[in-house]
Every structure is written in structure tokens, then in C-alpha cells.
């Protein structure tokens, strides 16, 4: 369809409402809509995606200016009214392509369809007031409190500043706003990265080598749909950020290795472990959810990988179900459930749901999971612990807890000879972490997701 600007906004309103008030996941909501409506023009699709993710990303900031602009400070806004206002304020402050009158008028038209007349008047009045003060508000935004400036709730903002100091926290938080090309990994079993770059360019896709991961490529799709590319259909690549690629690189899988990948879905690290071993390692990939293990199976089939078997099981009970796996594996990799604070640039839902209580509640689970994972590592074998967060409580402190709890059975493994030089040269703090078997990736320094990897070896 070629939708008019109002209908695209109404679609966006409905999708946003599902995320805010029905606990739907943003990527699934939008992907499902676009899959069911392939007739949506590329122009409408681009605008819908920009508004949808823009509003979600800046929700904390938008609410700050909405609440500040309310005449009645005690007024409890109707849920639909708040979503419409968030959309309108985002267009006024953060969309460079939408005229002020269009931002106001289309918001009012949506309000007329969705909410009562009194709320319509509120939408109209508040947005017109903000529009008249747009330049002053933008100037205020640049000097606003950390949580407003970087669209993080007060609790998470406080944690960022506590962990990194204000200046470093600002650098990291700002990087999550930056748009980056899509990161993909060339299938080492089928094609070399340079050959894949040439192949993609023939399909009118901009492509260039990644920054540090050996098989990584950065692509810009333009108007192409990724799944429609022949290179994708042929299994020449998989979408994966460079930081989690390094988990497989650091694991150093070899032919004939017995490898266990826990919490493995959707299979990015599983498939790379297989590729790096020449598909000659024997790999068991485990995830709790059957539907998610099917995602691994789909990737295995598309990429042509044979020596991986998938299992659906609870990691905490796996030793009970598979006692024969105890002390069996050369490599065990576990990517534990975490706060996801390394993915703020990709998954704006995390900005809505992360808080101090939810983050702290993960620590006992992470500690238990790394201990359970270690039961499968053979003497001399490797344990890889990773997360998609930059929270030291979930990262370095979990590793320290584990090493103390296992009382000399495991030791850290120096990463200095494994990591690409550009990741550690000139950075003494990172070099020291690498000597202690750990690395944290940051969006500003490394132009990738925030991610943590630790490597340990079983001694006895």
C-alpha cells in the first residue's frame, strides 16, 4: 500500500500501544506487521520504523517534556493520550523531516479517533505550546539532567554514573543513539569475507570489512530486504554483531572438540563455533525454549552446518537430565540472561523495563548458571562466560564470585594473544583486563554492542 502520512502514524500508534501496554517486544511487533503487509512502500516503511523506534528510544525524554508542559501537574493521562503525545513530541523535537504543523495536526487527528474530546483538546493545546517553544526546549534539552538527555530512567542513569563516572557514562550513553551499519558474519564454511563483499555489491548492497572481528562485514541495505538477498538465501552470511562474534573466537574451537553452547538461541555463537572448527567439532546447543531451538535449527540448515545437535532444556537442571555430560566438554560457552544494557541502541524496550530491582534480581541466577555450566567442563577445558551488558556487577563481579567459589578448580586465561591488536593497543585498562581473561566491549570505543566475555580454564 502507499499509505498517507496519517495512516502510517495510526499504524505506529497501535504498534507502540502494544509495546507500552501489552508488553509486546518492539522488534517482533514491527517485524510481524511488515511481514503481514509486504505492500507497504519502502518510504512508508522507513518513516514507520524511524518513528516507532524513535519514540521508544526517547520515551523518558518525551515524558519529561509532556509532564512539564501539563497545566494540571497532578493529571493522570489516559494511556492512549500519552502514546499520542509521545509521538507528537518526538516529531517536534527529534524528527528533522516533519514540519511542526504536521506533527501537531496528525496527532490531533489520531486523538479524535482514539480518545475523548477533552483529551483531544489537551493534545492540541500541549503540542501547540511545545511547538511554539521548540528552539528553547531543544536548548534546554542539551543542558538537561543526565536521565533526560540520554533517555534513561533515573535508576539506570544513576547506575551508569556510579559505574563509569559522569564523563564516561555520557560517552557510552551518547553512543547508543548513533546509527551503525548492520553487522554480518561471513560463513567461513562457504565464502571468504572479501568475496562476500563483492557478491553483496553485485546485489546493490553497500558492504565493507568490519572493525575487528575476523569474518565480520558491515552492510547498508538501502531499499533491499535482507532475507530477499541471494547471499542470505545461499547461506553466505548470518546477522551478528562483532562483539558476540568474539566469544567464539576467544573460545578457540578446534576439530574434534566436544563443545557445549548453553542459552544458545538464536544460534549466532553456535554456528560460528562450528564454522571456526571447520564443522568438525561435535557441538551440543541448548536453550530453554523449544521455539528458540528451532531458530538454531533454521540457521544450521541455511548455513549448511552438520555437526550441531540442539536440545531444549533448563540449564539449571541439565546435569540431572544429562549426567553423562559432566566433565565431558573441551569448551563450554554460556551467554546468561542479563540486563541487556549493552543493547540499548538496538532494543529500546530495555530502556522501558530496566531498573535497579530487575538488574539486581539477575545476579543470583547468573551466579548459579555459571556454576552449573562449569560442571560440564573437562580438566584442561575452557569455560566462556558472556553477557550483553556493560554492568560490572553482572560481569567482572560474577566471574570473581565464580573463581572464589570454585576454590582453585578454575583459573583465568590470558586473552592477549587472541584479541586483535586494535582492541588493546594503547589501552592499559583493557590490556590488564585481557591478561585477567576478560574484555568488555563498548559502543563508543568499539562501534558495536556493549558485551562482556570472560575465559577460564579448568585446572582440576
Antiparallel, parallel or unpaired: β 308-312 and 282-287? parallel
The yes-or-no answer on residue 81 being catalytic is no
List of residues 6+ apart from 448 with CB closer than 8 A: 180, 183, 211, 241, 242, 243, 441
Residue 307 DSSP code = S
> Which phi and psi (to 5°) does residue 391 adopt?
-80, 115
**From 12, 386, 388, 448, the catalytic residue:** 388
Cell numbers standing for residue 124: 492540541
Q: What string of DSSP letters covers 16-80?
A: HHHHHHS---HHHHHHHHHHH-TTS-HHHHHHHHHHHHHHHHTHHHHHHHHHHH-SSTT----HH
- In whole angstroms, what is the distance from residue 304 CA to residue 188 CA? 11
By CB atoms closer than 10 A (0-12, 13-18, 19+), residue 187 is buried
Residue 388 DSSP code = S
* CA-based end-to-end distance of the chain: 64
Taken in order 148, 153, 156, 158, is the CA torsion positive or negative?
positive
Positions marked active-site: 388
Amino acid at each position: 500500500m502507499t499509505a498517507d502520512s496519517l495512516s502510517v502514524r495510526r499504524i505506529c500508534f497501535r504498534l507502540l500501544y502494544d509495546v507500552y501496554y501489552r508488553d509486546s517486544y518492539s522488534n517482533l511487533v514491527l517485524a510481524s506487521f511488515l511481514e503481514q503487509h509486504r505492500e507497504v512502500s519502502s518510504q512508508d516503511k522507513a518513516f514507520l520504523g524511524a518513528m516507532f523506534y524513535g519514540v521508544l528510544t526517547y520515551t523518558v525524554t518525551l515524558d519529561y517534556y509532556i509532564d512539564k508542559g501539563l497545566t494540571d501537574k497532578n493529571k493522570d493521562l489516559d494511556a492512549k493520550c500519552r502514546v499520542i503525545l509521545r509521538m507528537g513530541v518526538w516529531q517536534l523535537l527529534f524528527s528533522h523531516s516533519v514540519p511542526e504543523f504536521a506533527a501537531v495536526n496528525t496527532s490531533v487527528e489520531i486523538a479524535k479517533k482514539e480518545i475523548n474530546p477533552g483529551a483531544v483538546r489537551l493534545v492540541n493545546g500541549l503540542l501547540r505550546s511545545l511547538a511554539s517553544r521548540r528552539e528553547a526546549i531543544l536548548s534546554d534539552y542539551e543542558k538537561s539532567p543526565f536521565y533526560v538527555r540520554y533517555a534513561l530512567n533515573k535508576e539506570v542513569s544513576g547506575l551508569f554514573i556510579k559505574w563509569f563516572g559522569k564523563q564516561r557514562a555520557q560517552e557510552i550513553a551518547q553512543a547508543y543513539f548513533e546509527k551503525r551499519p548492520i553487522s554480518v558474519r561471513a560463513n567461513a564454511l562457504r565464502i571468504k569475507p572479501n568475496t562476500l563483499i563483492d557478491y553483496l555489491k553485485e546485489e546493490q548492497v553497500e558492504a565493507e570489512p568490519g572493525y575487528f572481528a575476523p569474518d565480520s562485514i558491515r552492510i547498508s541495505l538501502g531499499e533491499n530486504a535482507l532475507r530477499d538477498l541471494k547471499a542470505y538465501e545461499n547461506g553466505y552470511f548470518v546477522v551478528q554483531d562483532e562483539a558476540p562474534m568474539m566469544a567464539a573466537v576467544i573460545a578457540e574451537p578446534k576439530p574434534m572438540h566436544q563443545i557445549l553452547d548453553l542459552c544458545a538461541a538464536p544460534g549466532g555463537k553456535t554456528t560460528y563455533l562450528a564454522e571456526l572448527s571447520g564443522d568438525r567439532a561435535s557441538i551440543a546447543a541448548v536453550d530453554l525454549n523449544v521455539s528458540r531451538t528451532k531458530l538454531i535449527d533454521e540457521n544450521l540448515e541455511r548455513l549448511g552446518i552438520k555437526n550441531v545437535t540442539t536440545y531444549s532444556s533448563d540449564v539449571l537442571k541439565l546435569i540431572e537430565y544429562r549426567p553423562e555430560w559432566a566433565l565431558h566438554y573441551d569448551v563450554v560457552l554460556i551467554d546468561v540472561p542479563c540486563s541487556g544494557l549493552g543493547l540499548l541502541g538496538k532494543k529500546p524496550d530495555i530502556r522501558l523495563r530496566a531498573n535497579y530491582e530487575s538488574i539486581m534480581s539477575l545476579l543470583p541466577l547468573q551466579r548459579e548458571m555459571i556454576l552449573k555450566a562449569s560442571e560440564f567442563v573437562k580438566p584442561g577445558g575452557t569455560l566462556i562466560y558472556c553477557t550483553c551488558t556493560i554492568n560490572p556487577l553482572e560481569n567482572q563481579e560474577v566471574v570473581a564470585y565464580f573463581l572464589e567459589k570454585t576454590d582453585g578448580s578454575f583459573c583465568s586465561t590470558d586473552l592477549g594473544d587472541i584479541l586483535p591488536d586494535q582492541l588493546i593497543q594503547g589501552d592499559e585498562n583493557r590490556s590488564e583486563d585481557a591478561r585477567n581473561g576478560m574484555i568488555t566491549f563498548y559502543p563508543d570505543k568499539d562501534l558495536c554492542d556493549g558485551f562482556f566475555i570472560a575465559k577460564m580454564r579448568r585446572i582440576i
